[in-house]
Amino acid sequence: MAANRSDSFPVAMKRVWARGGVAGYCQGLIPWAWIEASSKGTVLLFVASEAEYQVRMFGSSEFTAGILAGMAGGVAQAYATVGFCTCMKTAEITRLAENTIRQITGKHDDQKLGAGEKILASAFGGGRSAWNQPIEVIRVEIQSMKAMAFIIYGNR
């Protein structure tokens, strides 16, 4: 959807299906994508719950406590999980790229790669670790559109 912004959701779903059927929806780096997704939600849930409780203890309204707790949970989520999982995805793909370079060049596992080969593997690993960025853009845009619709039309 990020590349084809004029596509409707059903059209985007068909495009993903055409790329690999059911497996097209599961593309990514397993297990790191699963760890990132589950740990982000867990951190957000627990930090936001505790922060809301603490803010309410100071006599804040439910609305204010919810807003502040969501912000605290989001900050904790960003610092606690995203960096770690992105690094692990990068390392996983860099190990995969290094193995591919070894196969192409005929090197054994005990032979070191040259500087250029290591740079190539690292660049591939870093670029590939950001594969889900378009999905994050879509998520943010959908949330923004929903918030804007709520502001304009109210809760209908």
- Percent pLDDT > 70 in the chain is 63
Closest to 56 in 3D by CA, of 45, 46, 65: 65
pLDDT attached to residue 17:
83
Please confirm whether the linkage preceding 31 is cis (ω < 30° from 0).
yes
DSSP label of 112 = P
**Model pLDDT for residues 2-22, shown as the tens digit of each residue:** 556 678 888 888 887 887 787
Q: Tell me how many degrees the CA angle 15-3-143 measures, rounded to the nearest 5.
A: 95
Residue 98: Cβ within 10 Å count: 20
pLDDT attached to residue 74:
84
Q: Return mean pLDDT, the chain.
A: 77
Q: Indicate the domain borders of the chain.
A: 31-153
User: What is the dihedral angle through the alpha carbons of 30, 36, 42, 45, rounded to the nearest 10 degrees?
Assistant: -130
pTM higher than 0.75: no
